[in-house]
Amino acid sequence: MVFSPALRRRLLRGMSCAAGGTAVLGLGQVAKLRWQYECPGEPVGQRHGNAGAAFQGKPLKLLFVGDSIAVGVGAKVAAPLQAACACRLASLQRRPVEWRTIAANGADVRELNELLEPGSNGDSQVVDLGFDIAVVLCGVNDGKKFWQGGRCRCSPRGYYIYINSTQKDVEHIGKYAITVLVGFSMFFGAILGVFV
């Protein structure tokens, strides 16, 4: 199909106007969200529990460490992801599962790392609890806080070091450790790969 030069110009002009209009609407939406967005509150409920009570055997102990996703911000009940994971694991393993969550709304990897370190009195939230599996849910707030105040808050190499440190802390706590980078942008992940 061949278009005449006049028709091509009209099509390009129309597409340019449509793209410009979409950009203006998008910027308006960004501005509105920036000034009017209110973060949903933390849900009520327990951040620990048991699953698979009908099964016999030694309970599998599961620990979740994370940010607002682990807290359950935006959900109707606290820690829905953990409860669903524990129920599924109990049905797959045919044994009871005890789970616990250590989380802070808005925490980045550094702050999660601090949650796992012993306090000034030597106590940690997770010492001597003997978890079999530990899952770290992080990345959303790191992406949001990456550029703060017009400058980089943490270099990709520094981020990688914090992830490894958190992973080692969690491996010390449990037999198996899984780090899930939730909402981690592909761009930042690609940059991180260069520094590793």
Range 165-185 average pLDDT: 62
The closest of 48, 24, 71, 23 to 182, measured between CA atoms, is 71
Whether 104 and 112 have beta carbons less than 8 Å apart is answered as yes
pLDDT at 196: 40
pLDDT at 31: 81
Task: Grade residue 24 by pLDDT with cuts at 50, 70 and 90.
Answer: confident
CB atoms within 10 A of CB 192: 18
Tokens of 100: 């616990």
Judge whether 43 lies within some domain: no
Could you tell me if 23 and 55 lie in one domain? Answer: no
Q: What is the CA radius of gyration of the chain?
A: 23
CB atoms within 10 A of CB 81: 17
Could you tell me if 4 and 64 lie in one domain? Answer: no
Judge whether 134 lies within some domain: yes
What is the rounded CA–CA span in Å between residue 64 and residue 112? 11
Task: Grade residue 187 by pLDDT with cuts at 50, 70 and 90.
Answer: very low
Longest CA span, the chain: 79
For 168, the domain range is 48-195
Could you tell me if 6 and 71 lie in one domain? Answer: no
Whether 16 and 24 have beta carbons less than 8 Å apart is answered as no
Residue 191 scores a pLDDT above 60: no
Q: What is the dihedral of CA 178, 181, 186, 192, to 10 degrees?
A: -70
Higher pLDDT, 63 or 94: 94
Residue 133 scores a pLDDT above 90: no
Could you tell me if 24 and 87 lie in one domain? Answer: no
Higher pLDDT, 115 or 82: 82
pLDDT tens digits for 134-151? 888 877 776 666 655 544
Range 11-32 average pLDDT: 86
Residue 193 scores a pLDDT above 60: no
Overall domain count for the chain: 2
